[in-house]
Chains A and B, each alone.
Chain A
Amino acid sequence: MTAVLAEPVHPRPGSPRSAFRNLVAVEAKLLVREVVPLLWGVGFPMILLAVMGAFSHGPDKSLGGFSLVASYEPILIAFTCSTFALQGLPTVLAGYRERGILRRLNATPVGAGRLLGAQLTVNLSVTLIVTLGILIVGAAAFGVPLPRQPAGFIVALVLTAAAMLTLGLLVASLARTGRVAGAVGTMLFLPLMFFAGLWLPQATMPAALRRVGDDTPLGAAVAALQHSMAGQWPSASGLATLAGYTVAFGVLAWRLFRWE
């Protein structure tokens, strides 16, 4: 009767790899169960895409020769990416630390490091899926061409996600609670999205503002995505800016992150 507690040894051996797979699967399920962040990170960019598509009337000189919807696609990709990286990831991780979940995992053979990896994997995957959705819907419904320089686009997208996710980790390192992490993430999100051109596309910004924007992570990200969609290789300085932010945020997060 009581043997259940001590003796039962399951014949199927678990391995660290399957532990990681299970962590990814569980974190993905938990993400899907949070309706509000999902609406914000997936629903909102899709709705905005539809609105921009409906108001788009072919190439526009004031938008650098792009149609309205085409000029907004990179902005919406940056939007999705930073929603999950700056609001989703830090809220979850700081909340896990606050509630002793990271500490509990560190008392298992697997350790909380793998949970960090699982969170990054899940948030990166969602970003990539929504990006794909934006590109497909944009092409099918509104005639926006798929990226003409796909390799450059992938490099720009990966660097954008890396810069935002490492910034998210940094927020998770500094914030004591999940609630504070969410608030800090939102406070960063708004100015970063301003330079991405959410309210004022980069082509319509005054030159001085645009120069400042080029040095911000999402300003550089949107320019790089825009160029690669139009068929050019993203500028080296833009990619270097993104890589530099990734390294800086990553190193700081690495040094400051606490498990408890």
Chain B
Amino acid sequence: MVINVCIGSACHLKGSYDIIKIFEKLIEENKLSEKLSVKASFCLGNCVGAVSVKFDDKVYSVQPDTANEFFESVVREKVC
């Protein structure tokens, strides 16, 4: 599965690069790299809800300090 993180300007300014790095670290720590990857996208069309993160066809609004929680509550159950 893929986590798409928006890196369009609005999301970038709200810390999307940091979120990508957090997800990459979590994937590595949890040894999920065969099942899960992170991809950057220019604009997921939801600039108001920056940072936009698309996972399993749904777009979520995630912040750098909620990225861990998002990973645990939304991503982990789908992947594991």
A and B from one complex: no
